[in-house]
A and B are shown apart, each in its own frame.
Chain A
Amino acid sequence: MAQGEDRASNGRGAPAAGGRGRGSMWLLLLPFAALLVPPLYAHETPHLWGIPFFYWYQGVWLIVTAGITTFVYRRMR
């Protein structure tokens, strides 16, 4: 059968018990709150390396979002 040789799981230890760490998933709403209200960050200053606030604020939130997904993933694992 096609799926016969499936590596049935992630192969990294026992799977998480259903629902563990699910509460931390609410943190994933933070990037939406931060990025979907442009008046919060549509400003020219302060500059960072000559880059207007509007741009580097969104860049910082990309990194924060990556941090949040990492944190939530670790809590759920």
Chain B
Amino acid sequence: MDVHAVHPAAIAVFCVLFGIVAVSGFFAVRWRRADLSHLNEWGLAGRRFGTWVTWFLVGGDIYTAYTFIAVPAAMFSTGAAGFFAFAYTTLVFPVLFVFGPRLWAVCKRHGYITAADFVRGRFDSDGLALATAFTGILATLPYIGLQLVGLKTVIAAMGISGDWPVIIAFVILAVYTFQSGLRAPALTAVIKDLMVYVTVGVAIVYIPIKLGGFGHIFGAARAALPKAAKPAVTVPGLDSSYETYATLALGSAFALFLYPHALTGALSADSGNTIRRNATLLTTYSLALGAIAVMGYMAIAAGLKPATPNFAVPDLFIRYFPPWFQGFGFAAIGVGALVPAAIMSIAASNLFSRNIWRAYVHPDADDSEQTLVAKIVSLLVKLGALCFALFVSTKSAIDLQLLGGVWILQTLPAVFLGLYTRWFDRWALLCGWAVGMGLGTWMAASQSFVSAYPLHIGGLRLTMYAAFFAIIANLIITCALTPLTRRLDPRPQTDATAPGDYDDATVAADGGGPELIPA
């Protein structure tokens, strides 16, 4: 299975579907036509997306090419430990339900496009906004790079070698994102998800029938995993660490909607209730994720020996599907790379344009200049991600993505807790952020980039998600320093927001303030 044969039928189906998606990406500019020289339109599609479009768009964020490849790969090689992704994608929805509508309301009221805009208004600090924006961009870049890894994997599985298909795919993506903004991934997400659900639906019914049922699949994994080079189990026992599983699920659940791309999806909704309804409806994606995760065990039960665990699902499709349906499934994964990559690059460019360009380079930038900067940066971001995917090893890409999760969680006190209280002092928040970033990075690096760090307290050993330790340190520093730094910096902190701005029903009733460029 190391060398993949060329499958013309699979390639043909893949190319046709990919072409349909590319054309609709360009066509998206005519969808809900508006003046795309406004950042609110290019970068948030005018905040007019209703329940269904938001469902597809946010689903596209959570459920990426990398998920399709990496979650089953983790199950294939690490067993039950990889299933935390399922618990995490369950817990993420109560988090979205609670924080999403509040953030939507205050952002709508004040015309904020990014989380950093909100932080700047709430805590009256350009520095804290810069830290938030910088963290968001830094965490997003390797994530886009990993989408390319997913795309490269399915292209290689069809027997095509070389980097040129990935380059072509990304040039197409870059051009239609530049032109259509957030409308493009929203429209293509609809096509992508229909393909994904068909593929997953067929795979989860057909392959278990071929393999003799779920009992046999889990039984085969239970027998094979402990004998692997790195022994693993299908059900965590006393020897494996429960606290790693729990903190990974908890930390990831809070991290997801701090990522700029996930926030962009939520902020483009037309009301707080659209977000709440989605917190329920999006659980269907998690069901599909659970099914995809189990495909890692199906690959074990089928006796597959993929070149790397990343090929577990592609090799499974090749074993059980006819070539044309392989092409369909691979196109679902490949297009699954384009949708989130587009949203991520738009979100990162919104951050750059609003919180770096306007804040530090050209404060007089008007709305159309901000939009132009964001469009150009979206090209640069994708070029960077492309170089990243072509010249950085896959291992380093995954390491950096892991660090991205550790980093983005450090913006939680300013963004999520900031929605409820402005007790924190801006300098204390900045210090807490710096400590969290440093500690989290050091912990992950010292373990050669596995997500869990073993902390020894007395005789007790706690192996937990590095981001979890880092956010605890961050919160302690922030709380401890707040009374101190407030005394050191007696300048008043003006809160641009009022308590009523956080109630989405009130904001929806009054209409948003079109204050796109706050003074």
Contact = CB atoms under 8 A, between A and B. Distances in A.
8 contacts: A2-B34, A2-B516, A28-B94, A35-B91, A42-B236, A49-B215, A63-B283, A69-B93
A4 B514 contact: yes
B249 A65 contact: no
B416 to A, nearest CB: 14
Nearest to A48: B214
Identify the interface centre among A2, A18, A32: most chain B CB within 10 Å of its CB: A2
A15 interface: yes
A54 B236 contact: yes
A20 to B, nearest CB: 9
B235 A44 contact: yes
Given A35-B91, A59-B290, A6 B46 contact: yes
A43 B222 CA distance: 13
Contacts of A61: 90
Given A3-B512, A8-B511, A35 B90 contact: yes
Interface in A22-77: 25, 28-29, 31-32, 35-39, 42-44, 47, 49-55, 58-59, 61-63, 65-66, 68-70, 72-73, 76-77
A18 B219 CA distance: 52
Interface string B215-234: 11111001000000000001
B465 to A, nearest CB: 12
Contact of A51 (B218, B272, B274, B511): B218
B204 interface: no
A50 B512 CA distance: 53
Interface string B476-519: 00000000000000000000000000010110111110101000
B317 to A, nearest CB: 22
Contacts of B503: 18
A60 to B, nearest CB: 10
A8 to B, nearest CB: 4
Interface of A: 1-10, 12, 15-18, 25, 28-29, 31-32, 35-39, 42-44, 47, 49-55, 58-59, 61-63, 65-66, 68-70, 72-73, 76-77
**What DSSP secondary structure best describes chain B's contact surface?**
helix
A24 to B, nearest CB: 11
Contacts of B35: 2
A73 B48 contact: no
B378 interface: no
A69 B279 contact: yes
Given A18-B503, A42-B235, A31 B287 contact: no
A7 B514 contact: no
A77 to B, nearest CB: 7
A73 B280 contact: yes
Interface of B: 34-35, 38, 40-41, 46-48, 80, 83, 86-87, 90-91, 93-94, 97-98, 111, 213-219, 222, 234-237, 242, 245-246, 249-250, 270-274, 276-277, 279-280, 283, 286-287, 290, 294, 367, 503, 505-506, 508-512, 514, 516
Given A2-B41, A6-B47, A36 B246 contact: yes
A3 B98 contact: no
Contacts of B97: 28, 69, 72-73
A10 B93 contact: no
B123 to A, nearest CB: 24
A72 to B, nearest CB: 7
B63 to A, nearest CB: 14
A72 B277 CA distance: 10
A32 B94 contact: yes
B214 A15 contact: no
Identify the interface centre among A12, A36, A47, A63: most chain B CB within 10 Å of its CB: A36
Contacts of A63: 283
Contacts of A35: 87, 90-91, 246, 249
Top-10 shortest CB links A-B: A50-B215, A15-B505, A9-B508, A10-B271, A28-B94, A2-B38, A8-B511, A38-B242, A50-B214, A66-B283
A42 B94 contact: no
A15 B510 CA distance: 10
Identify the interface centre among A1, A12, A50, A77: most chain B CB within 10 Å of its CB: A50
Contacts of A31: 90-91, 94
B90 A77 contact: no
Given A32-B250, A42-B235, A52-B234, A9 B271 contact: yes
B86 A62 contact: yes
Nearest to B245: A38
A65 B83 contact: no
B260 to A, nearest CB: 20
B420 to A, nearest CB: 13
Given A31-B91, A50-B216, A3 B508 contact: no
A10 B270 contact: yes
Contact of A12 (B219, B273, B287): B273
Identify the interface centre among A4, A7, A15, A77: most chain B CB within 10 Å of its CB: A15
Contact of A43 (B235, B270, B287): B235
